Chain A
């Protein structure tokens, strides 16, 4: 695998915008699927991807009821799942071959540490701050300064911000689930903001492996 696969030459800001745009796109896709207009020509599809009065630069998609709808949340989680499922190999390659670290991913706890340390550092430029477990398959991963949420705040106060935050947490949830799945662990991942203290986020991972 060529070196440049891991070269750090993507602007973090550009990537942030791209990821955030996934959320908006997902709402528009949802709206298009729900509308009666049968998808046909490419031009029709593209035109259909606009919400009503959806001007560029505005955040109308966030006030759409479909924004926090289950379809939207599931679709975003699926994006993350796909990315996580595929990227595990790359990260393991990077650790073992490029950096020469012999990592053991036999136990669930080891896998969780791998996610907290290596995966998080790769995606969010920092490690998780805390990892807790009850030793029967439930893990709580805490990031006290979750990068994508640092600047998020809605125009209508904190309560509104918290209610609109969930779509942005689905992608990392799916990411964790995807990585676990590719390592043979099936799990359910839920994320929530800790006590309304943005940008502190906890990821609750419920694995099916009782240990």
Chain B
């Protein structure tokens, strides 16, 4: 299941890290997360409009899906050197922190934000006591009720921490639930490399991003170490 991109948003809703991976043959479906003119036009509407827009992309998405499945079977037989070659491709053809402020990033955030609100309000039972009402309105209730959503040509995995940090990864729609990976990135990469690093801030200004090389390398290593991202 190829991985397309990885994003981190801070609690002020700014994108503090974006990483796009080069996916070779997947370029056509990958472009849905590049800021194509089409997306830019739709950005003037509500996020939901573009959401539908991307999910109903023309039949080209169907064919990419097929090709990825057939190529996936073949690649399982390849040696590990080829896999590492593929990992290199994935890393080098991608971009780091180039999309933090463009429409794609904002749309992605807006979609997730609204989806989360909707999901919470749909599943919250009627409050009977004041305490229940308070709980329903509090952060604890809304914490992390959205896990992922997917369309025909991508799947978006979401993890939000208690203090409002949001980790998002966009993959092929057939991917398994990667939320556990996001949790792992949070505690085994973000915590040591950023929070426990005295030379990195934990509070980001607008237009300030995580450009720490060690962090980027660790993220790349993590995603390429998942076998399925290479097949």
Q: How many residues does chain A have at the interface if contact means C-beta atoms less than 8 Å apart?
A: 22
Interface pair B213/A59, CB less than 8 Å apart: no
Interface pair A151/B196, CB less than 8 Å apart: yes
Stretch at the interface among A78-86, A110-118, A153-161: A153-161
Interface pair B213/A152, CB less than 8 Å apart: no
B187-215 interface bits toward A, Cβ cutoff 8 Å, 1 = contact, 0 = none? 00000110011111111110000111111
Interface pair B202/A154, CB less than 8 Å apart: no
Is A185 interfacial (CB 8 A cutoff)?
no
* Sample (18) of A-B pairs whose CB atoms are under 8 Å apart: A16-B196, A20-B198, A57-B203, A58-B204, A59-B200, A151-B196, A152-B197, A153-B193, A153-B197, A153-B199, A153-B200, A153-B212, A153-B215, A154-B200, A154-B212, A155-B211, A161-B199, A164-B199
Which A residues lie at the B interface, using CB under 8 A?
Answer: 13, 16, 20, 23, 55-59, 62, 150-158, 161, 164, 168
Nearest 3 A/B pairs, CB to CB: A57-B203, A20-B198, A58-B201
Residues of A within 8 A of B201 (CB): 57-59
Interface pair B198/A152, CB less than 8 Å apart: yes
Identify A158's interface contact among B193, B197, B198, B213, CB under 8 A.
B213
Interface pair A151/B192, CB less than 8 Å apart: yes
Interface pair A58/B203, CB less than 8 Å apart: yes
Q: How far is the CA of A100 from the CA of B166 in the complex (A)?
A: 53
Interface pair A58/B205, CB less than 8 Å apart: yes
Q: In the complex, what's the smallest C-beta–C-beta distance from A71 to chain B, in angstroms?
A: 19
Closest to A56 in B: B203
Known: A153-B212, A168-B198. 5 other contacts (CB 8 A): A57-B201, A59-B198, A152-B199, A158-B213, A164-B199
Q: How far is the CA of A55 from the CA of B12 in the complex (A)?
A: 14
Q: In the complex, what's the smallest C-beta–C-beta distance from B156 to chain A, in angstroms?
A: 28
Q: How many residues does chain B have at the interface if contact means C-beta atoms less than 8 Å apart?
A: 18
Residues of A within 8 A of B210 (CB): 155
Interface pair A59/B196, CB less than 8 Å apart: no
Secondary structure type dominating chain A contacts: loop
Residues of B within 8 A of A168 (CB): 198
Which B residues lie at the A interface, using CB under 8 A?
Answer: 192-193, 196-205, 210-215
Residues of B within 8 A of A158 (CB): 213
Q: How far is the CA of A134 from the CA of B199 in the complex (A)?
A: 36
Closest to A153 in B: B214
Known: A151-B193, A155-B210, A158-B213. A23 touches B200 (CB 8 A): no
Closest to A58 in B: B201
Closest to B202 in A: A57
Identify A153's interface contact among B203, B204, B205, B213, CB under 8 A.
B213
Q: How far is the CA of A78 from the CA of B167 in the complex (A)?
A: 42
Residues of B within 8 A of A150 (CB): 192
Residues of A within 8 A of B193 (CB): 151, 153
Residues of B within 8 A of A157 (CB): 213
Known: A153-B193, A153-B214, A155-B211. A23 touches B198 (CB 8 A): yes
Closest to B208 in A: A58
Closest to B212 in A: A155
Interface pair B199/A155, CB less than 8 Å apart: yes
Residues of B within 8 A of A62 (CB): 199
Interface pair A13/B196, CB less than 8 Å apart: yes
Interface pair B197/A151, CB less than 8 Å apart: yes
Q: How far is the CA of A23 from the CA of B200 in the complex (A)?
A: 14
Q: How far is the CA of A151 from the CA of B191 in the complex (A)?
A: 10
